[in-house]
Amino acid sequence: MLTKRIIPCLDVTLDEAGGTVVKGVEFLDLRKAGDPVELAKRYNEQGADELVFLDITASHEGRDTMIDVIQRTANEVFIPLTVGGGIGSVQRIREILRAGADKVSINTAAVKNPELVREGADIFGSQCIVVAIDCKRNSDIENNPDKTIIELEDGSRVWYEVVIYGGRKRTGIDTVQWAKQVEELGAGEILLTSMDRDGTYDGFDLPITRKLSEELEIPIIASGGVGGPEHMQEGFVKGKADAGLAASIFHFGEYTVDDVKKHLRKNNVPVRP
């Protein structure tokens, strides 16, 4: 098993403070978690392998990502930083990378303009382009015979629908098919978030995580639902993910990155020092 990455996620909204980390449940009922720069410094010191910074309302509000907050965050961390939210053009990708990001995460804009993935990969390299996929279970399989049907733990069958604009809009797009398409377009990895699990502390959505991990060649970052180190372990062992992303357990002091890594080492899941 290859070394697994632990990635704290900073979901940031623009407010009177200039940018605040928030966390909700299924993308709703957001509560404040702190200053993004201070949290980034904390996770850097705790031994996080990477950081993800998502401006979660930029696309919905039709504005650009917060460049100044990204610059201040990048100045304080010495691990790879991925930035997403409101990135809709090659020029914007260039600006984000110049601000200090190592990678950009494209979600809504990729769905609306898939060629942006190809253009970004051609110009900046696939290693810089992460496609974020937010998905939601859809139990209507009778009217969707062309979708990838996945069996859940309880034996029921669903397909996973891509949602955009921070989960506000369904697209009718099949998650597995979309992931394969963006891999072909040049994406370097997939950040997969199950909206059904987001903020629930119930663990990763293992069926879709495992499906993408088995079907794709590029790395899959599992996101949504981590309630403790054992869920990270499940994501790697049962979900076959390459990296695990979490927010709530880190932001509110329930666990540190080191706590998670110690648990994984104890259970023979290889992680970086």
> Is the pLDDT reported for residue 235 higher than 90?
yes
The confidence band for 60, taking pLDDT boundaries of 50, 70 and 90, is: low
pLDDT attached to residue 15: 60
pLDDT attached to residue 58: 59
Domain spans of the chain, in order of start = 3-265
Q: Could you confirm whether 11 is annotated as catalytic?
A: yes
pLDDT attached to residue 138: 97
Specify the pTM. 0.90
**HEC profile for the chain?**
CCCEEEEEEEEEECCCCCCEEEEEECCEEEEEEECHHHHHHHHHHHCCCCEEEEECCHHHHCCCCCHHHHHHHHCCCCCCEEEECCCCCHHHHHHHHHCCCCEEEECHHHHHCCHHHHHHHHHHCHHHEEEEEEEEEECCCCCCCCCCCEECCCCCEEEEEEEECCCCEEEEEEHHHHHHHHHHHCCCEEEEEECCCCCCCCCCCHHHHHHHHHHCCCCEEEECCCCCHHHHHHHHHCCCCCEEEECHHHHCCCCCHHHHHHHHHHCCCCECC
Mean per-residue pLDDT for 207-214? 98
pLDDT attached to residue 234: 98
pLDDT attached to residue 26: 45
Q: Could you confirm whether 134 is annotated as catalytic?
A: yes
pLDDT attached to residue 28: 46
> Is the pLDDT reported for residue 32 higher than 90?
no
The confidence band for 29, taking pLDDT boundaries of 50, 70 and 90, is: very low
Q: What is the CATH number of domain 3-265?
A: 3.20.20.70
Pick the catalytic residue from 134, 174, 198, 242: 134
Asked which of 1-5, 144-148, 210-214 is least confident by mean pLDDT, the reply is 1-5
